Each structure stands twice: as structure tokens, then as C-alpha cells.
Amino acid sequence: MPTEPSGTRRRITFVFPIYNEEGNIDLLHRTVDEVTAPLADRYDFSFLYVDDGSRDSSLALLTALAERDNRVTVVELSRNFGHQMAVTAGLDLVDADATIIMDSDLQDPPRVALELIEKWEEGFDVVYAQRRSRQDSAFKKITASAFYWFLRKMAAVDIPKNTGDFRLIDRKVVDELRRYRERDRFLRGLVSYIGFKQTAVVFDRDKRHAGVTGYPLRKMLRFAADGILGFSVTPLRLISRFGYLISALSFFGVLYVIGVKLFAPQTAVPGWAFITIAMFFLGGIQIIMLGVLGSYIGRTYSQVQNRPLYGVASVRTGLTQLERAVESGVDAGTGVR
């Protein structure tokens, strides 16, 4: 990695969002501690727990943990802000060369973190953990795969399927991510959107160790909407297409009416044609106009999201060469000594 001079130990921080995880915290910490211990001579590990307004004894457990282990930091949010906000708070506060985001219910197996670190060492900036299998209810599996299918169809960026927030991200991606301040956050989408060198590591997702999911159906739907609406204006475009379709129907209506008039005038009901065709035509125009409004709203929306216009991965110039030339007495402007 270019940023660190050789010899310095690189820092890796785990970020754990915590919402009512009293049954998991101790085991989680013990497991990550064990798993990372063999690498402790190469990296400085630290653990950032973000308590997202838990209503159980999670915060007390975390406080006790921080007293036992000085690598632990606990951030207490003022109320429950939701998983994505808790992770965002964590990302805003870390100061590490790599950050590993992980769920706290041991569904994301801590040993996979080692594979993420390996890939990072190979030079990837984002290493996301992709589920090969998952131990969830049939309902969760079906809704999740439908969601990812739909999201990939709709979204303007390529968001990997079967991938949660379990991932390692390099410092430069964290820095970039901090510039994205939109309120309805779909972090995995933002990370894809940002770019840099990304790769996957596949794993088998375990069952939640203890406690219940913090994602009931209502939150899941909200989250799905954040994913789709945050990365796609396709629904708005569909409005205009639908309008054109309805208008086209009025055109076919005209053909039909002419046909009736020419070939079977005795069956023509007076006034019918005018009303039906006008109905389709006006209906179509109205929907097309909604689509026009929609395209302005879409632009307004992306403007207020206020995302950075681009991200720079590196700048390569001949500057150092030029500087060297200046140092050795060459006139940089002319190349003459």
C-alpha cells in the first residue's frame, strides 16, 4: 500500500453496530479477539462498538468490555437511529488503514475477516463478503433474493447480490464515503457507487447466535426502498412509458372506430368512439405530463442528495521527474541547463 512507509504497523478497526445484542456481545468479542490474535504482531487491531440506542443491557456490557480491553471504544448514540446510521457513525469516527464492518450477532463469521484482510493485502480497496448460503427463515431468503434481483435490474450501479455490509474498506474509501451525507442511506450501494478496486470473498452465513432480528418486515421494506430509490430513477421513467402506452391505445381506438364505420356501420353506437378515444388520449397525456414532472423531480432529487461529483483514485504526473530536473539544475521550463 502506498500510504504507509514500510515498517509501520497498519491499523485495522472493526466496527460493530449494536442494537439489543446482550446475548452476543461477550461471545462476539471473544471470537474476534481469538481470530485476530495470530495477526496481532503485524497489525494494531481495535474495536469500535456503536450502541444504537439498545434497550437491553448491551451498553452496560460494552462499558465493561471497554474497561477490560483498552482496544475497545464504545460510542453510544442518543437513540435508535437504525443499522445504517450506526455504521455511518462508526465510519465517521474510525481512524484506521482498514475498517471491517460486521454484524454483531455472529451471523458474519469473524474468521472470514482474515480472508478480507488477505485480499486487502493483495491491493484491493474494498473486499466484500458475499454469501454463498444463509441460515435464515425461508421468508427472509425469498424476500432477500427477490430484492437483490430487482435492485440489480433497477439500479444504475452494479450492486453485488447476496452481499450485506460485511466488508473491509480501505482508509481512502472510508474518506470518500464520509463525503456522502445523504439521509436515506444504503451503504452497500454507496460503496459500489464510489468504486476503487473491489473484490469479493464468498462465505456461508451462520444463524443469529442469540436475540432477535432488528429488521422486522417494516424496516426491511424501508431499507429495500432506500436501496432502489437511492440508486435508480427507473420508477420515474416508467411513468412516462406508461403514459405513452395509454396514448397509443387511443390511436388503436381510432383505427378500430374507423374500421367499424367503414365495414360495419350498422353496429356503431353514436358518441361512443369520441368518449372512449378522448378518455384514453387525455389519460395518456396526463400520465405523460406526470412523467415530465417526474423527470424534473428526479433531477431535483439527485441534486439534493448532493453526492460528490466524482472520486479520484490517484493522480499521475511527471512532476517528480520535473522536480528532480530542477534540483539537478535544469531549467524546468526549457530543459536547458
* Interface positions with ligand UDP (CB under 6 A): 17-19, 21, 52, 80, 82-83, 86, 103-105, 107, 208, 213-215
CB 30 within 8 A of CB 69: no
Nearer Cβ to ligand UDP, position 3 or 135?
135
Candidate segments 11-19, 57-65, 74-82, 102-110, binder of Mg ion by CB under 5 A: 102-110
CA gap 204, 309 in Å, rounded: 36
CA gap 145, 140 in Å, rounded: 8
Q: Which residue is nearest to ligand UDP (CB)?
A: 214
Tell me how crowded residue 184 is: count the other CB atoms within 10 A of its CB.
13
Nearer Cβ to ligand UDP, position 57 or 80?
80
Q: Which of 21, 22, 51, 105 binds Mg ion (CB under 5 A)?
A: 105
Q: Is 104 in the site for Mg ion (CB under 5 A)?
A: no
Buried b (16+ CB within 10 A) or exposed e, 52-66: bbbeeebbebbeebe
Nearer Cβ to ligand UDP, position 49 or 231?
49
Contact pattern from residue 185 through residue 224 relative to Mg ion, giving x for each residue in contact according to CB under 5 A and a dash for the rest? -----------------------x----------------
Contacts of 239 (CB under 8 A, 6+ apart): 287, 290, 291, 294
Least Å distance, CB 205 to Mg ion, is 9
Q: Is 107 in the site for Mg ion (CB under 5 A)?
A: yes
Find which of ligand UDP, Mg ion, none residue 176 binds, CB within 5 to 8 Å per kind: none
Torsion over CA of 113, 115, 118 and 124, rounded to 10 degrees? -90
Nearer Cβ to ligand UDP, position 22 or 125?
22
Strand-pairing partners, residue 117, are none
Phi, psi of 188, deg, nearest 5: -65, -30
Least Å distance, CB 82 to ligand UDP, is 5
CA gap 17, 102 in Å, rounded: 8
Residue carrying the nine cell digits 447480490: 161
Element of type H or E holding 153? helix 138-154
Nearer Cβ to ligand UDP, position 21 or 125?
21
Nearer Cβ to ligand UDP, position 52 or 170?
52
Note the helical H segments in 94-137.
Answer: 112-121
Q: Which amino acid is at 192?
A: S
Q: Is 52 in the site for Mg ion (CB under 5 A)?
A: no
Point out which residues bind Mg ion (CB under 5 A).
103, 105, 107, 208
